[in-house]
Amino acid sequence: MSDDLPFDDFYRATSRRMMRFAYGMVGDTGTAADIVQEAYIRAWRRWSEIGRYDQPEAWVRLVVSRLATDWWRRVMVRRRYEATERPPDPEPAPSDTTVLLVAALRRLPARQRQAFCLHHLLDLTVADIARELAVSEGTVKSWLFRARTSLADQLGSLNPATAEGSDVH
């Protein structure tokens, strides 16, 4: 084949065949398309040299073969790793207090719940919350007061010793 053959013509004449070959090598259409694209990019970069080969398609096939082999190696390494990896330990179930608290928090208006969680769970100051939510400090203090009052009413039946031991102050 001479270098007079434009790369575009070479690509059009061989790309479908190369895609079938790559698909046969890896068994996945997306991966095959990626491999073929990479092989043709490499050929295009060196087309002034490869276009003069007697069989430039053989060169592209060799690149596809090598890329497919590399892909399978990565798959096998990942499979070996996943086979030896222990699944994470299951998370413990939430305590009864946590379940009750979360249910009570859900019943708060959104802004009160947000202010309460920012203050008590993330330890943000009233000033920090006011800045983040673009409201006055007085508004934040009001939301926190109302949230605490509502939570106290909802959770009043809890044993005070249990409530004090929780993470929420």
- What is the CATH number assigned to the segment(s) 7-84? 1.10.1740
DSSP class per residue in 103-163? HHHHTS-HHHHHHHHHHHTS---HHHHHHHHTS-HHHHHHHHHHHHHHHHHHHTTS-HHHH
Tell me the whole-structure pTM to 2 decimals. 0.50
pLDDT at residue 48, rounded to an integer? 94
Q: What is the mean pLDDT of residues 41-70?
A: 96
Residue 163 pLDDT > 50: no
What's the rounded Cα separation, in Å, for the pair 65 and 76?
16
What is the rounded average pLDDT of the residues 2-28?
A: 90
Place of tokens 């001479």: 2
- The region of weakest confidence among 22-31, 54-63, 100-109, 156-165 is 156-165
Q: Which CATH architecture has domain 96-164?
A: Orthogonal Bundle (1.10)
Phi, psi of 86 (to 5 degrees): -80, 140
Give residue limits of the domains in the chain.
7-84, 96-164
